[in-house]
Structure 1
């Protein structure tokens, strides 16, 4: 073996040793990391377990404290009233026992009598609280205050003798028998009466009923008869009023009367008279103005009721004074018929009567020209268009239309122009 080969082998051995050392160190570091990770996980698990135990301990302590103070946090007012009761009853009973024993009463008997006076007041307060909402509590409240007043008088008399140099102590002892009764009475009966808004609403309803009775006595009389005739609670008062209004005034919308409808129609006629163009040479009488509201010869004047009145007339079941019964719907009247009756004059004649004057040739000529124009545009000849052209009444316009249609129908039968449709 030469020296060169020996050195080569030596270098190779050293390189192998260094590689083995590196691998060993790498293995050791990997094992160390694994150990460190395991230790970290163990500590984290221990910490979580410790925190869970602490949380359970805190929850248990909070539950114990909640059992003691829960009734205080749930209703602080009730809790403080109970505190005042305890601080009031004990001095009151002790003062009464001292007053009775000072008067020569045996201690046992004095204790029983003091418990009787204070216990009577509290028993009456508890009985009044149970009767709240079911029957009158006036008797219980008066009895509780009377028993408390007797106990307060005994305490005051004893305090005035025992603490003559400090008369205010007697007043404090007297209050010890009244303060707790007063607070408990407020807690039991206070806040259950009507609110200011409810009182104002009741006052407004009473004033409204008074005005209604004064303004509409006849309707009120009929409404009361309807209510007395039907089973109690079956008919709502507002429904009865609406039905009575329709019977007395003839209109299903409460607040509207025949006089108001007549005034409305007269006002509309005056407005139309001054706003619509008038013909230069009218061929009807001066007392027969054109009908501004009739587009259909079969219709009559139709009064327009405000939506607010109609809505108010229907609003009854949701009112605060509802009897919770099945309300009877008001009788629906015929406003058109009522309006037509209002238009009749004193002699029984109706201004809507048919106009019997003969058809004027010039009017027929204008209508024929209009029919030709409408036929060229495939439009129908209507009463409204004739009225707008000639400024006449609807019945006269209808006669003109019928005449022209008859003429055109004859032409169509003879092979002439097509007939004019309505």
Structure 2
């Protein structure tokens, strides 16, 4: 019996311990849930505060942007140009409102059926003024613009005269004569001044548009001057250019490309080059070649060559074992010409004949002369021969080319002019 009671007590104690643990677990779980809920609420409140601050900052930025936009718009609207353009339109509108009732009353006083005449006369002045502005915008012929101006001012002058007469007629309604005259002059002034103000506004806008980009305007003037000068100097080439532009499909050939092709067709050479330019260049090259060939034979060089020839003897001579010359030099300071003498070919050895001396003493071959004659015919005359083109045609050295050129030129002296 005692064992059962003991077992029962132990079971009750275990159940009580288990209930306590469960209660503690529930309490811990409830505590954690409360903490999690509190944290979630804190996060939500923090998030709400952040969103509220962001929205407030965004509203401040939008407000600042709107303020800046209004300031920029106000600054743009109140520029002198906009004030002038809008102010002129306002002045024109006031002029029309002041002059039109007098027109209507004047003609209605005559007969009620004449009511449309007043708006028609006043409207004619404004329609012609608008036509002048449209003609300026479309850059029509000057006579069209001036015709519209004359028509506009004529209608305005007629309306101004009617308004002046109406102002004088106010004396019939008890207005003093001086006041009636002032009223007539005022009506005439606003009637004529409205179209005049609008016309002056149009002139100012046209002139300001033409001077809006001075650099572009200067470029257009320079381009027009260049085109005019080109047509004056190169008439045949410009005519050929226009022919090419007309022959090609529209828009496929550029003007400058057509001019370059026309230059080649007329002058037979690249752009900017003519037959006279080629001839002058060839003559200049020939002169330079001659000067360079002559410059190779300075007095000092001739003296050195003669000295070396005296010491070592000329090439092919029989100076013997002593190496002295057995012949007297035939050039330089001793009375001859320096042909056939050159500097040493090596270090302290004896002088040798250069290729230039060989070319100078070489007889002119008939085949080479014939080649140079054909070259002269192809170039258009012997006066266009130069050492360079002869050298390139024959394939020889400069001295031989000079001799060939001079020989062919000597055959036709009348073409050397």
TM range (shorter): 0.3 to 0.5
Q: Look at both structures and tell me which one has the larger radius of gyration over its CA atoms.
A: 2
Return the structure number with greater helix share: 2
TM value normalised by structure 1: 0.45
